[in-house]
Amino acid sequence: MPDQPSYLNFDKINYAWHPDIDYRAHPENYRVGKGKQGVLTCEPCKSEIGPYWRFKSEDVAKESSKKIYELFLAYLEAGDFVGADMARKYLQMGYTHARRYANYKGGKKDDAEKNHAQLERGTGDPEKARAANIFYDCWKAAEATESYAAMKKQWKHERG
């Protein structure tokens, strides 16, 4: 029996990120977490960054990742680690979501009607692979930014 997707047993009560918290007003409540956790929850960053997140084509991905990376740098300049980390997460999510669409037709990797059996890989859109590469480069550039890396290390040490 295949593993079921984690979202089927999502524990909303114990999830570290909550939509009713303003993380700019209360950054002490923010946790870095793993990967893209919290990216679709944390306000006001979700509303500031989300509208620019697109990966439909290579050109759209270039424009989107450039804008999100500019926001990342602006958050760093303002000393806003939460905003910078969320922008980094949107870049990562641009990569992973575009990759999923590149690997699987329609971006669906499992069949809900067949107990979430994994679908055939390699049936996706090559344009999305190019979009994924663009996001990947911006994501890695963000992670390699020295001031961000230092802020993240300190944040994780102090807050988790």
What is the pairing mode between strands 117-118 and 110-111? antiparallel
Bond preceding residue 126 cis, omega within 30 of 0: no
Give domain limits for the chain.
Answer: 38-49+56-106+123-160
Predicted confidence (pLDDT) per residue in 88-143, tens digit: 999 999 999 898 878 777 666 665 666 666 656 666 678 889 999 999 999 999 99
10 has pLDDT over 90? no
The residue that leads in pLDDT, 69 or 4, is 69
As a whole number of angstroms, the longest Cα–Cα distance in the chain is: 49
Q: How confident is the model at residue 86 (pLDDT cuts 50, 70, 90)?
A: very high
SS3 for 117? strand
pLDDT of residue 2: 52
pLDDT score recorded for residue 1: 45
Containing H/E element for 131? helix 126-144
- Model confidence band, residue 16 (pLDDT cutoffs 50, 70, 90): confident
Q: 17-28 burial by CB neighbour count: b if 16+ within 10 A, else e?
A: beeeeebeeeee
